[in-house]
């Protein structure tokens, strides 16, 4: 996507997104307002119906009490004249429109009744007089009734009770005189049993008597309800379609307005983006022409504003580049050819020291450095020492801890440092007290297989000759080549290692131990550091071979080697010395540290039996002899002899123990 397209898109989004959000809010507000007005319009119908219901109930109560007070009614009840009672009750119903049924109850039985027809939906079972008589006073499923009023005769006592009521049906709903847009329904226990809407059968409805709701009657409706009592309520509803259509019309209008705004905004954004991007396109074309070597290319200057000034500066730059590129190109090609030749040499050699010396010398020559030092890690990787140096006495270089001075800072942070930096001095570490200090320095880490292996430091004594970005790029290129070369050397050493390991246990053999001993001894001699040797021998191993066979013995030797390796550090060397005897070389470890390691190994061997299953478990112990440089010897033969004699003394003292060698006067 071009800059002009991005600017157009961003401008459109900046304008349209707020408009769209505002339109969405407006649509929601208008929709909610339309729905709220629909609900408000239902409340008067509900209030009117409830008022009619209450007034009618008051009339009902008075009519029932007046009927009981009539002299004729007690006489008919006393004579048990069923036909006369029914005729009397029918006349009472005929006199008023506010009562729908009357019944006489004696001893829980209906002994006389009269009722007007009810107007419920088809399929609703109208309650019988007996069911109404058993119901509680007040509203019920389709009716409301008065309490039973006792009929008493002087000298005789109570001869029965009179109950009156009216139907809560469509006829009651039509009395409110609501407008044609509002329907009223009677709901009993969640079922519509009567309605002014076109409801043909009882319909289930989830009614909320505390808030308005949306439901389905003969169509989708918005509704509000008022509960009478006992789960019976009046629901006022109006079709939701007109209000939803109004909301859709509002949404459609907003979308049309947004579409028109989008078209206008897009046109305006395109013109603005074109005004901004055209000078940039001309600059890009000019830069592309220069990249192709067309240094005579010029950008048209159309104004004297900032863009015009940029065009003038660009044209001046192309004229100067023409003079300098030719000079730089020749020297750059020569330097790259030299570096590539060195890279080929680095990849071809298998001598680590020779390869690293080549890296140091090449970096010093390519960057015209007066001093170059390769700082290597000690075996424990907690300090750095000068392993290769040019232009300075390597023996005068101190050890530097991680994060100590400039070199330690690079080793800790794994990032290059240029002193003085081309972009300010904030955050630079200070050189350590004994670290070489020169006015100009470039320090960078060297990697192999994603692991830092050394730190290369280049120094210039002339404070005016600063290292630049091109020097950093050159050193990084050499560092990459060095990493490839180190990997090649490590692969070569790995091939040699395969010939220096024990075929059964996979540990190093005696030959490799001797090679490692020479390196550790050289480091210890130079820096006056101790190291130690452990001689290990499994106790009573011959009995294992005699009892379980040599295959079981081999399995135990493999497991023994695994446990010992887990107890040692990565920098320690563990080798098979012969049979069930093993030897370990602990770099930079004194007597106390060697004893601690030996006890750790002894505990790892005796703490858990050998074998895969309980039936084949074998418990073993190990005797360990400890000898340290220089108090127990200064040569390979002397230290091994001291450790071996200490190990035999451990066996003589009862096995399963660690013994330290005594100072030897005789070295063989």
**Lowest mean pLDDT segment, chosen from 49-63, 476-490, 558-572:** 476-490
Domains of the chain and CATH, by start = 36-260 (no CATH), 349-489 (3.30.450.40), 500-660 (3.30.70.270)
Residue found under tokens 């490590």: 490
**For residue 585, is pLDDT > 80?**
yes
In angstroms, what is the C-alpha Rg of the chain?
53
Q: Which token pair is 77?
A: 């009840």
Query: Which range, 297-301, 329-333, 581-585, is most confident?
Result: 581-585
Q: Which residues are catalytic?
A: 580
pLDDT digits (tens, 9 = 90+) for 453-468: 899 999 999 988 888 8
pLDDT band at 606 (very low <50, low <70, confident <90, very high): very high
pLDDT band at 531 (very low <50, low <70, confident <90, very high): very high
d(CA 266, CA 12): 6
Output 54 or 275, whichever has higher pLDDT: 54
User: By C-alpha distance, which of 95, 69, 98, 257 is closest to 164?
Assistant: 98
**For residue 285, is pLDDT > 80?**
no
d(CA 19, CA 259): 11
pTM: 0.39
**For residue 537, is pLDDT > 70?**
yes
Contact 574, 598 (CB under 8 A): no
**For residue 331, is pLDDT > 70?**
no
User: By C-alpha distance, which of 271, 259, 185, 257 is closest to 228?
Assistant: 185
pLDDT band at 637 (very low <50, low <70, confident <90, very high): very high
pLDDT band at 621 (very low <50, low <70, confident <90, very high): very high
Q: Which token pair is 57?
A: 């109930």
**For residue 555, is pLDDT > 50?**
yes
Predicted confidence at residue 81, as pLDDT, reads 81
**For residue 665, is pLDDT > 60?**
no
First and final CA of the chain: distance in angstroms? 81
**For residue 628, is pLDDT > 90?**
yes
Predicted confidence at residue 192, as pLDDT, reads 93
Interval 271-283 mean pLDDT = 73
Q: Which token pair is 488?
A: 């090649």
Predicted confidence at residue 425, as pLDDT, reads 57
**For residue 48, is pLDDT > 80?**
yes
**Lowest mean pLDDT segment, chosen from 155-169, 225-239, 278-292, 555-569:** 278-292
Predicted confidence at residue 644, as pLDDT, reads 95
pLDDT digits (tens, 9 = 90+) for 72-104: 888 888 878 888 888 888 988 888 888 999 999
d(CA 662, CA 500): 31
Residue found under tokens 């290597």: 376
Interval 290-316 mean pLDDT = 76
Interval 176-187 mean pLDDT = 81
Enumerate the H helices of 447-570 as residue ranges.
469-498, 510-527, 541-548, 550-567
What is the average pLDDT value for the chain, to the nearest integer? Answer: 84
């Amino acid at each position: 996507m071009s800059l002009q397209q991005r600017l157009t898109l961003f401008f459109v989004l900046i304008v349209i997104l707020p408009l769209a959000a505002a339109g969405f809010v407006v649509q929601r507000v208008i929709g909610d307002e339309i729905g709220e007005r629909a609900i408000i319009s239902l409340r008067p119908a509900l209030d009117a119906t409830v008022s009619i219901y209450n007034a009618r109930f008051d009339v009902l109560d008075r009519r029932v009490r007046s009927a009981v007070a009539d002299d004729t009614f007690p006489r008919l009840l006393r004579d048990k004249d069923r036909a006369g009672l029914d005729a009397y009750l029918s006349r009472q119903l005929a006199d008023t429109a506010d009562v729908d049924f009357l019944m006489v109850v004696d001893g829980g039985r209906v002994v006389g009744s009269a009722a007007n027809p009810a107007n419920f939906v088809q399929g609703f079972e109208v309650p019988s007089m007996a069911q109404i008589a058993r119901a509680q006073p007040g509203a019920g499923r389709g009716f409301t009734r008065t309490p039973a009023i006792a009929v008493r005769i002087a000298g005789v006592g109570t001869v029965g009770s009179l109950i009156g009521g009216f139907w809560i049906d469509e006829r009651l709903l039509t009395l409110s005189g609501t407008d044609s847009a509002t329907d009223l329904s009677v709901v009993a226990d969640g079922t519509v049993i009567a309605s002014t809407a076109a409801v043909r059968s009882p319909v289930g409805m989830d009614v909320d008597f505390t808030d308005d709701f949306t439901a389905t009657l003969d169509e989708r409706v918005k509704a509000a309800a008022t509960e009478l009592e006992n789960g019976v309520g009046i629901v006022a509803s109006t079709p939701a379609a007109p209000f939803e259509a109004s909301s859709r019309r509002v949404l459609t209008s907003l979308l049309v307005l947004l579409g028109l705004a989008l078209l206008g905004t897009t046109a305006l954004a395109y013109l603005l983006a074109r005004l901004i991007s055209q000078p940039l396109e001309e600059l890009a074309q000019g830069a592309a022409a220069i990249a192709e070597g067309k240094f005579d290319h010029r950008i048209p200057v159309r104004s004297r504003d900032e863009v015009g000034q940029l065009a003038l500066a660009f044209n001046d730059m192309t004229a100067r580049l023409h003079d300098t590129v030719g000079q730089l190109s020749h020297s750059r090609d020569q330097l790259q050819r030299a570096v590539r030749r060195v890279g080929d040499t680095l990849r071809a050699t298998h001598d680590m020291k020779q390869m690293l010396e080549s890296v140091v010398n090449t970096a010093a020559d390519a960057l015209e450095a007066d001093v170059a030092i390769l700082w290597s890690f000690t075996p424990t990787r907690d300090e750095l020492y000068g392993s290769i140096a040019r232009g300075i006495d390597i023996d005068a270089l101190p050890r530097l801890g991680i994060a100590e001075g400039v070199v330690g800072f690079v080793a800790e942070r794994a990032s290059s440092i240029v002193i003085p930096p081309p972009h300010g001095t904030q955050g630079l570490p200070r050189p350590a007290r004994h670290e070489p200090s020169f006015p100009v320095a470039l320090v960078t880490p060297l990697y192999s297989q994603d692991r830092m292996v050394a730190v290369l430091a280049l120094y210039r004594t002339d404070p005016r000759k600063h290292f630049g970005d091109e020097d950093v790029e050159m050193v990084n290129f050499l560092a990459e080549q060095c990493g490839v070369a180190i990997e090649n050397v490590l692969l070569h050493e790995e091939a040699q290692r395969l010939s220096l390991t024990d075929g059964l246990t996979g540990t190093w053999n005696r030959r490799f131990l001797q090679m490692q001993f020479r390196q550790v001894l050289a480091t210890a001699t130079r820096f006056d550091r101790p190291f130690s040797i452990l001689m290990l021998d499994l106790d009573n191993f011959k009995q294992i071979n005699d009892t379980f066979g040599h295959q079981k013995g081999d399995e135990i030797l493999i497991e023994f080697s695994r446990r010992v390796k887990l107890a040692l550090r990565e920098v320690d060397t563990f080798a098979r010395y012969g049979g069930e005897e093993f030897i370990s070389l602990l770099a930079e470890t004194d007597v106390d540290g060697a004893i601690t390691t030996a006890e750790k190994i002894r505990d790892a061997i005796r703490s858990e039996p050998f074998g895969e299953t309980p039936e084949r478990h074998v418990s073993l112990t190990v005797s360990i002899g400890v000898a340290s440089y220089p108090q127990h010897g200064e040569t390979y033969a002397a230290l091994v002899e001291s450790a071996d004699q200490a190990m035999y003394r451990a066996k003589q003292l009862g096995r399963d123990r660690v013994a330290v060698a005594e100072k030897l006067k005789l070295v063989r």
